[in-house]
Amino acid sequence: MTRRRTERISERAGRALAAGLLILASAAFARPAAAQIQMRSFYQGYRPTVAAQDTEALKETLELDEPQQALLEANYAGYVQAFGEAAASIQDGLRSLQEAMAATESPSMKESLVGEYNRLREQWADESLQMEVGFFADVKALLGDEQAARWPRFERDRRRRVGLLLAARLMAERVDLVDVLDRLDLPDEVREACEGVVEQYGLEFDAPLSARHALSDRMERLSYDGDGKGGGDDAQMRSLDERLKRLHVELRDINLRFAEAFAAHLPGEHGARFTQEFRRRAWPRYFRTDEVAIDAQRVRELAALTDGQEESLGALLAAHALRLEPIHRELVQVDMTRELQRLWPTGGPGVEPAQPGGEAPGGGESLEARTQRLLEARQAQVRSTLAEIRALLTSDQLRALTTGVPIESEGGREP
């Protein structure tokens, strides 16, 4: 590899960065917008960090009027185009550096090129972030005073919506309760009655989430020196990791507490639907499939139940849910204990050390054995309820389930 070729590669990479800087000229003096995600790695990708979903959230949260929405769409189209052009230029520069690394046999030259590659990625993260900051600053310039007062709500919602999965480690930590609520398709008056809880949840969740982002990013930076090699102070990293673990647990506990609060604010079956959906997202191994609910739905579609049968079926389903609840609660507790042992394998605050092979401390029942016992109890309860549902039905109704041909609602059933 000649020095002239290396200079050409660096010049090409520099032009890629210059393209991004020119695109950002209009935003250079804008007041920073604080909706960004505080993790460096989020800005090192090549897709726009502002998504169409963000523009829809801006319209809804800030209640933009039609002219404002038109300006927002125009700004977003410009942002997407500018980002794509800048990202393509950066990728060209990075590819050139990769080709040069593959072509050279000089260890010192390869090391220099690796350093240049890493520096270019870091600089691209800066430019990607600044494009996002510039876009949101332009949006804020469109707002009236009342709309601007709602901006912090948008920031919190975006950090949770976009950044929730970044570096999350606990299952219940990974669920956005507001998204669960909104996907239930509730009546407007029911959804509005939850607004106070939604606002409080957003406020309480945002601080530890932002801290988790910042701390994860800080640890990643400390893990690497300028040449991309392992570095950082071991004692400092252990201290930061301990703080990060506690943030994971704090976020999990906020979600568990507010999941109960949301369900309590929802009337009738809506609360049960919310709890079921939260559990399905947090612990899909146990809650993804509800065999009894699926069977009951099929029975209702095909068997043309009488009023008395419908009443009996409802009572069976209610009793089934009551019998499953303690099993489900214990399964969730076992899973959360297992997760804490993964965070603190040698033991931590209130956490027993993980044992080789899954044995329980003191010779008790291991977590795996306990899980298997609970799953078997759950399956036995499911089989029992399915049998009880079949016992409600006539031979004609059972035949309809077998053939898949529904019974006419006004006839075709045995008396």
Q: DSSP for 22-72? A: HHGGGGTTSPPPS-S-S-GGGGSSSS-SS-HHHHHHHHHHHT--HHHHHHH
Q: What is the mean pLDDT of the chain?
A: 87
* Exposure string over 210-236, b if 16+ CB within 10 A, otherwise e: bbbbebbbbbeeeeeeeeeeeeeeeee
How far, in Å, are 248, 259, 350 from residue 344 at the CA level?
A: 12, 25, 10
Q: What percent of the chain has pLDDT over 90?
A: 74
What amino acid occupies position 165? L
Between 143 and 22, the more confident residue is: 143
Instruction: Give residue-wise pLDDT tens across range 224-265.
Output: 654 445 555 788 899 999 999 999 999 999 999 999 999 999
Task: State residue 223's pLDDT score.
Answer: 79
Task: State residue 152's pLDDT score.
Answer: 95
Residue 28 above 80 pLDDT?
no
Residue 1 above 80 pLDDT?
no
Residue 24 above 50 pLDDT?
no
Task: State residue 231's pLDDT score.
Answer: 55
Instruction: Give residue-wise pLDDT tens across range 327-365.
Output: 999 999 999 999 999 999 887 666 766 655 555 555 578
Residue 93 above 70 pLDDT?
yes
Mean pLDDT (whole number) for 200-209: 96
Nearest residue to 170 via CA among 42, 340, 288: 340
CA distance 52 to 45: 17
Least confident of 18-22, 82-86, 342-346: 18-22
CA distance 337 to 364: 15
Instruction: Give residue-wise pLDDT tens across range 401-413.
Output: 999 999 875 444 4
Task: State residue 32's pLDDT score.
Answer: 45
Residue 384 above 70 pLDDT?
yes
Instruction: Give residue-wise pLDDT tens across range 262-309.
Output: 999 999 899 999 999 999 999 999 998 889 999 999 999 999 999 999
Helix (H) or strand (E) holding 304: none
Nearest residue to 190 via CA among 259, 275, 262, 266: 266
Residue 174, Cβ neighbours under 10 Å: how many? 15
Phi-psi region of 167 (alpha: psi -120 to 50; beta: other; left: phi over 0): left
Residue 323 above 90 pLDDT?
yes
